[in-house]
A and B are shown apart, each in its own frame.
Chain A
Amino acid sequence: AQSVTQLGSHVSVSEGALVLLRCNYSSSVPPYLFWYVQYPNQGLQLLLKYTSAATLVKGINGFEAEFKKSETSFHLTKPSAHMSDAAEYFCAVRSNFGNEKLTFGTGTRLTIIP
């Protein structure tokens, strides 16, 4: 069984401030982990993915995430928020073998304060 918990359904940060979106996973087998972003009226777009290589993963638009097995976490960060980062962000988990179903979290809506 696998699941994802995203702490905080809404996060607000000031423009230029650090962005931190939290994701904790549960998986009985080594996981693959993903962050997707959804801009208003659009589908989901892949930001970055962890597939058991480097634990610090860099994605598009300056985002990165670190896989921490001891904490079962895969938090998303960006050093300096931009107005264009306002969107909903989804963490997802998939096993790296067997059941290949993607399991998504409930999402975190990020608001950027000018």
Chain B
Amino acid sequence: ETGVTQTPRHLVMGMTNKKSLKCEQHLGHNAMYWYKQSAKKPLELMFVYSLEERVENNSVPSRFSPECPNSSHLFLHLHTLQPEDSALYLCASSQETRNIQYFGAGTRLSVL
């Protein structure tokens, strides 16, 4: 496998469910990111991890909980989401936070 892989590609969940999004990068990078992409809005940076430490948290509600167990894996744990959280969630990685980011194909999340 190459690049940045996100699973699942599609997820439908109720507001009371708990689910997790997974991201895996095969590029040897040391920084990983979660973005939210909603229709007609710019990409919103949610979280940044560098060397497995969270270095940025952009006022994201606590119902989103990131986890970075190692430099190759990034999770986004979801619980008690709202319908307005429905969006495409993109993961990216880079070698150092100053370098080019490479994106996964995203997880399309629908909250009912």
> Does A100 lie within 8 Å of B103, measured CB to CB?
no
> Does A46 lie within 8 Å of B43, measured CB to CB?
no
Count of B interface residues, CB-CB < 8 Å: 20
> Does B4 lie within 8 Å of A103, measured CB to CB?
no
With the chains together, A102 CA to B102 CA distance in Å? 12
- B61 contacts the other chain (Cβ, under 8 Å)? no
> Does A45 lie within 8 Å of B103, measured CB to CB?
yes
- CB neighbours (8 Å) of A102 from chain B are 45, 101
- A114 contacts the other chain (Cβ, under 8 Å)? no
Nearest-neighbor residue (CB-CB) of B103 within chain A = A43
Min distance, Cβ A47 to any Cβ of chain B, angstroms: 11
- CB neighbours (8 Å) of B41 from chain A are 106
Min distance, Cβ A41 to any Cβ of chain B, angstroms: 7
- CB neighbours (8 Å) of A106 from chain B are 40-42
- CB neighbours (8 Å) of A42 from chain B are 105-106
**Bitwise interface map of B from 58 to 74 toward A, beta carbon under 8 Å scored 1, else 0:** 00000000000000000
Min distance, Cβ A30 to any Cβ of chain B, angstroms: 14
With the chains together, A50 CA to B90 CA distance in Å? 23
Nearest-neighbor residue (CB-CB) of A3 within chain B = B42
With the chains together, A103 CA to B108 CA distance in Å? 22
- A90 contacts the other chain (Cβ, under 8 Å)? yes
> Does B100 lie within 8 Å of A46, measured CB to CB?
yes
- B53 contacts the other chain (Cβ, under 8 Å)? no
CB-CB under 8 A for A100 and B98, given A44-B90, A106-B41: yes
Taking a contact as CB atoms closer than 8 A, the residue among A9, A90, A100, A105 that contacts B97 in the complex is: A100
The 3 A-B pairs at the shortest CB distance, nearest first, are namely: A43-B103, A44-B103, A104-B43
